[in-house]
Structure 1
Amino acid sequence: MKLKTITILILILSNTILFGQNLKMEAYEFISKAQDTVKAELGTFYVLKDRTNSSQDSIKLSFIRFKSTNPNPGKPIVYLSGGPGGSGTGTAKGGRFELFMKLREVADVIAFDQRGTGMSDRLPNCKYYAEFLPEKPTDKAEYIQKTTENISKCLEFWELENVNLKAYNTTESAKDIDELRKVLNTDKISVWAISYGSHLAFEYTRLFEDNIDKMVLASLEGSDQTIKLPKNTETFVFQLAELAKDNYGSEQKYPDLKRKITEVHERIKKNPVTSSYDNRRGGRDIVGISNFELQSAIATFYLKNPEDSKRLPKIYTEMYNGDFTGIAADVLVLKRYIFNGIRPMPFAMDMQSGISGQRQKQIEEQIDECILGSSINFLLYEWMTNLEFPQLPKEFRDLKPNKVNALLLSGSLDGRTYLTSGMEIAKKFENGRHVIIENAGHDLYMQSPLIGDMVLDFFKGKELNVDRIVLEPTLFD
């Protein structure tokens, strides 16, 4: 055997040992935010940081395994958190803890921390920030300029820190999941996910469909839906306005909300305002509000779930009457904490998921004509078009038909990943069932015990004969 061939075989063998047989498991006492305590296991393993080059740099990935209570457990259920940037182990500590515990009736439940999140290896935060004057109404152009300049500084900072941001993309993360499957020593896994977690699950489906047993996905973000369409956001806002007319029969009604919403934005577009509010320190903050800042505040704080959007008619009515006190605190949060910096993992993941040419054309046609512009995307769309940052190849954004046994869930009042988008995605799942949850929002898993019970039944293999669940509506303030 030639020396070159022997060398190659040694390299392959060493990589197999390093990246295929490196699982470490240890006993772990898991404590939820509500102080529930359960015995679990902490697992860690290593994967190649960037599989697209010859570097052997590795990163540590972590997960919590909740052992099944079933004497004959099924395939492990792997939870993928949203964001990007959410932590699976962090999610398990919160409101979904109960559902994590219930699913142990079926199989081991894995709270997985994707690369760059939770208990997995993290990236250093950038030390630079953009600054926006609180009292000045700041237009969109200035936000684009200052944030892109700040991002350029951050990219230089991460380069000096030897951070390979390009390694943090959804394709690499999907391959991490399959490495997890291998170290768990199982031929298949089941996937449980929400929001960006569904976006990641679609890429796992594209690459490893045959390795999936069952899949439950909620609040669906398609392969080419990282950037949301402005028209969908406008339609959703006006849907809320329509519901607020009668407000489900309550005494507080908003018969002319759509006109008021439109007029508020027309006024502030022409004449930005300055407002103030009492802060927690006992003082008073003065806040300038441009139309872009108002759009961004509404998209960020008032659309995600019914508990958020119930405040929308009241806040618009106040602004229509000239009172911007209620929105001022939200705008200040945007100026000081949301638009001023970026987190490396979410930034890199979203930027590389990218946007197709067709969708970009739709955005351009809609962005200036719709009530909230593209503010549902924060400034991600503008960064994609103003910064030279790599995007994954076009096949990544093309979700093909598949035969995965899937349960797909969409909330009718989800103001992040819209019902119409979910219906479009569901057509790709030939063996999928799409269930619409009326009056549910984005974070729908715990909005009714019926939803958790349905998820459990699906993973147990029970036949579901339901396409719609109707929850009690949340009344508008």
Structure 2
Amino acid sequence: MRFVGSLVATTLAISTLSALASEDHSESAETRTYANETPITFTANDGQSTEAFSGHFWVPENRNNPQSRKIRINYVRFAATGDLQGPPMVYLAGGPGGSGIGTAKWRRFPLFMAMREFGDVIALDQRGTGESEKAPRCDSSVTIPLKEVVTAKAFVQGYQQAARECLARWREQGIDVYGYTTVQNAWDINDLRQHLNARRVNLWGISYGSHLALSAMKLFPEQINRVILASAEGLNQTVKLPARTDAYFARVQQVIDQQPLKSAVADLPALVRRVHRRLHEAPLKLAIPKKDASEQQMLFQAHHMQRLAGMMIADPNQYLAMLILTYNELDKGNTRTLTGVLQRGIFRDKPLSFSLMSLAMDMASGITPARLRLVTQQAESSLLGTWLNFPMPALNRLDEKLDLGNAFRSAPQSSIPTLLFTGTLDGRTYPEGQKAAVRGLSNLTQVKVVYGGHNLFMSSPEVLENMQLFMQNKALPNTTITLPLPKLSLQEIVSR
């Protein structure tokens, strides 16, 4: 944990943050409790533990319906540990569908603990996620055949039919599907603020969590103190531009060119196009081993490979090398690595299944007609087409009543102090898109993380250092963090 080193600096920091604090607490942070809270020992997955509070509050399922039922929203509150107790910091998980409580148990646990220096830290399970009240998962009656050729059009139509079926089934169960939008989700943050008796809150989000934060900044700016974002997804960016995916692959080639891998992969985009073309002309018959020693037969097509690539490009140090190896082997007629990847059950011969929160949030955020036209135009010649975002935009305006409209998708205009971390090798929310997402933020500090991917909060100690400086209202001395060059070695992958 980082603390201010001198008495003068400490005095200034206390003065600054006291002015930003939501209220004057007369009791210690460790003993202060709110309604519906229970003391717990919170244990992370690596065994570290800390005292915390498990709490919940109730919100309308659909604020646009005066007769709406109430649903429960759960959170874990880590009490402030420092003297600089400002507004609560609310963590907003990505997805949509990620669990804030679950995130706190994994690699980001040290960040949650470190940020307690500045106030209570709230791991929020957004409506319909994690420990919060949620609709049962829906298994539709639609199955996409794995052993026969399925055109991209038929694939899309299958998902559309399954989504309509599941939305209807949830409505039959008395669930108001029209309450599961980013706007309703954002208002939950304001209800949480009131539940905590706070005048303002700080927001900390990544990916869809940044999408949610940007919506909150438009809806109730006076109640938001400071915002920390990573891998920003704009309000009109649920569907990413296919041309930016092509630019991402070009950046990956620049990394390859600095390593021995260049001799094997001299032109990654050309390799990708070549493999896709061959799969389109002649799909591969695969026998994928299963845990019970049986085999899953599959006819592997180009759109399967495009979807698979979209799942594996988020971070350069996770699956990217394996993806490049898969393309390289397929180009030579070898399916070994591909079969190993598919053993993880990515494509299943089972009915299509949906989570209400994940499905409805994306459908509601949607895409403007102008952007959809651009996406459609670019998809015709781009490497992954629209498969990066699947099943969007296939489900766009499938239910007109769920769509939030173009006013929602306009970028926020805000002077709220905001810190944004952008990875140059983010394969999910591209740097060009992030720049557009925050163009209306006049009080923005953007940190470029060179060679950083989508999940970059734990990529370098400098990320936390910059977060702490930002919360201390100090200027960042360096707005570029340079990570080690990602090792894209086919030999390393083969030996694992």
- State the TM-score, normalized to the length of structure 2: 0.87
Aligned counterpart in structure 2 of residue 271 of structure 1, from 279, 282, 289:
282
Classify the secondary structure of the residue corresponding to 1:27: strand
Gaps of 5+ in 2: 1-33, 490-496
Aligned counterpart in structure 1 of residue 361 of structure 2, from 343, 349, 354:
349
Contact 2:239–2:389 (CA<8 Å) still a contact in 1? yes
Aligned counterpart in structure 1 of residue 115 of structure 2, from 103, 111, 134:
103
Q: What is the rounded CA distance, in whole Å, between the counterparts of 1:283 and 1:237 in structure 2?
A: 36
TM superposition shift of 1:304 = 3.9
Contact 1:230–1:370 (CA<8 Å) still a contact in 2? yes
Classify the secondary structure of the residue corresponding to 1:307: coil
Q: What is the rounded CA distance, in whole Å, between the counterparts of 1:416 and 1:275 in structure 2?
A: 28
Q: What residue number does 1:308 align with?
A: 319
User: Which letter maps to 1:49?
Assistant: E
Q: What is the rounded CA distance, in whole Å, between the counterparts of 1:337 and 1:234 in structure 2?
A: 31
Q: What residue number does 1:257 align with?
A: 268
Aligned length: 455
The correspondence of residues 349-388 of structure 1 with structure 2, limited to 5 A, is: 349-384=361-396, 388=400
Q: What residue number does 1:55 align with?
A: 67
Determine which structure has the larger helix proportion and give its number.
Answer: 1
Q: What is the rounded CA distance, in whole Å, between the counterparts of 2:349 and 2:94 in structure 1?
A: 20
Quickly say closer, same or farther: Cα 1:425–1:387, change in 2 above 3 A. closer
Quickly say closer, same or farther: Cα 1:385–1:43, change in 2 above 3 A. closer
1:61-109 per-residue CA deviation (whole Å, 9 max, x = no partner) reads 1111101111341111110111111111111011100110011111111
Quickly say closer, same or farther: Cα 1:459–1:36, change in 2 above 3 A. same
TM superposition shift of 1:256 = 3.3
Q: What residue number does 1:235 align with?
A: 247
Whether 1:39 and 2:41 are equivalent positions in the alignment is: no
Aligned counterpart in structure 2 of residue 325 of structure 1, from 336, 341, 353:
336
Classify the secondary structure of the residue corresponding to 1:341: strand
TM superposition shift of 1:370 = 0.8
1:390-444 per-residue CA deviation (whole Å, 9 max, x = no partner) reads 2102211001321010101111111000011112223221111011101111110
Whether 1:295 and 2:306 are equivalent positions in the alignment is: yes
TM superposition shift of 1:257 = 2.9
Contact 1:423–1:434 (CA<8 Å) still a contact in 2? no
Kindly, what percent of the aligned residue pairs are identical? 30
TM superposition shift of 1:148 = 1.8
Q: What residue number does 2:474 align with?
A: 462
Quickly say closer, same or farther: Cα 1:26–1:155, change in 2 above 3 A. same
The correspondence of residues 175-190 of structure 1 with structure 2, limited to 5 A, is: 175-190=187-202
Aligned counterpart in structure 1 of residue 146 of structure 2, from 125, 134, 149:
134
Q: What residue number does 2:173 align with?
A: 161
Q: What is the rounded CA distance, in whole Å, between the counterparts of 2:262 and 2:153 in structure 1?
A: 42
Q: What is the rounded CA distance, in whole Å, between the counterparts of 1:37 and 1:337 in structure 2?
A: 41
User: Which letter maps to 1:186?
Assistant: A
Coordinate RMSD, CA, aligned:
2.0
Q: What is the rounded CA distance, in whole Å, between the counterparts of 1:337 and 1:30 in structure 2?
A: 38
Classify the secondary structure of the residue corresponding to 2:67: coil
The correspondence of residues 415-430 of structure 1 with structure 2, limited to 5 A, is: 415-430=427-442
Contact 2:139–2:166 (CA<8 Å) still a contact in 1? yes
User: Which letter maps to 2:80?
Assistant: S
Gaps of 5+ in 1: 1-21
1:89-146 per-residue CA deviation (whole Å, 9 max, x = no partner) reads 1110111001100111111111111111112111111132532333334321221122
